[in-house]
């Protein structure tokens, strides 16, 4: 079983496009899958759109009721999926704004089946690139990955911020056993780096597949607060000892 977690906040335009593509991706493939839409208190028709798809594809909805941030959406999505997965299953997270191509599902699944604990869809792997991203967003993403790699051992990861990842459930369970809900304490986009840091500290084996980020496919404006996000990345470095207090970081 492939669990696909979509944290969604005000994605009424993008969500149908993404769900249709996910459905097409698995058509005639030898995989069973389930989409979990985590509606993070959307104020548009995102929840209504998701409900319409419950009847024509394997889809569940986890509704926050109010906006709680990406970190809580990812945390609750992972916890919900882990309750229903077996160790041979795979969990995939990606953005609901249609910028992450589901065509990468199969190569990511193959990498997990080869034995890796985490597979990242990476803009910085050979063949990866960004389309339609503003210069400031490009600088922020690259700088953030540099900050994380300079402050922490994240193994083979080049793209430390992208939320398009595949995980081995058995490794996520181990991480939750150690960290509990503190596995994800950041509420903003920085939560993806936090997860990577904590899983890496537990010895996760990491691989990447090249991602062509299609920001030109995004509907609506970005939800990222630039200055706040930069400060949160810096904060990760400053609180390194407390961040990893439950494991041996020597």
10-35 confidence digits (pLDDT tens): 999 999 999 999 999 999 899 999 99
What digits encode the pLDDT tens for the residues 233-250?
888 888 887 888 655 443
- Could you give the domains of the chain? 2-243 (3.90.550.10)
How many other C-beta atoms can be found within 10 angstroms of the C-beta atom of residue 158?
A: 18
Cβ neighbours of residue 158 closer than 8 Å, sequence gap 6 or more:
120, 122, 124, 125, 145, 149, 208
Question: What pLDDT score does 250 carry?
Answer: 38
pLDDT band of 175, cuts 50, 70, 90:
very high
Q: What is the pTM of this model?
A: 0.93
How many other C-beta atoms can be found within 10 angstroms of the C-beta atom of residue 11?
A: 29
Question: What pLDDT score does 45 carry?
Answer: 97
CA distances from 66 to 5, 73, 137 (A): 18, 11, 27
Question: What pLDDT score does 221 carry?
Answer: 57
Asked whether the predicted pLDDT for residue 222 surpasses 70, the reply is no
Half-sphere exposure (CA, 13 Å, Cβ side) for 166? 26
């Amino acid at each position: 079983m492939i669990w696909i977690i979509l944290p969604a906040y005000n994605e009424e335009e993008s969500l149908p496009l993404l769900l249709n593509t996910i459905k097409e991706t698995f058509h005639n493939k030898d995989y069973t899958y389930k989409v979990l839409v985590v509606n993070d208190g959307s104020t548009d028709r995102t929840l209504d759109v998701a409900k319409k798809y419950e009847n024509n594809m394997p889809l569940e909805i986890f509704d926050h009721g109010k906006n709680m941030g990406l970190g809580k959406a990812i945390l609750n999505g992972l916890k919900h999926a882990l309750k229903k997965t077996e160790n041979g299953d795979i969990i995939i997270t990606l953005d609901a704004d249609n910028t992450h191509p589901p065509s990468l599902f199969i190569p990511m699944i193959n990498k997990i089946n080869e034995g890796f604990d985490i597979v990242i869809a990476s803009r910085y792997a050979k063949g990866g690139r960004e389309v339609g991203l503003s210069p400031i967003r490009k600088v922020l993403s690259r700088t953030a990955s540099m900050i994380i790699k300079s402050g922490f051992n994240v193994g083979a990861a080049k793209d430390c911020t992208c939320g398009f990842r595949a995980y081995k459930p058995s490794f996520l369970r181990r991480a939750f056993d150690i960290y509990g809900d503190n596995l994800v304490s950041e509420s903003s986009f920085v939560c993806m780096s936090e997860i990577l840091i904590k899983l890496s500290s537990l010895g996760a084996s990491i691989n990447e597949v090249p991602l062509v980020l299609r920001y030109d496919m995004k509907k609506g404006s970005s939800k990222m607060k630039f200055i706040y996000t930069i400060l949160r990345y810096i904060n990760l470095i400053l609180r390194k000892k407390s961040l990893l207090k439950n494991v041996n970081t020597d």
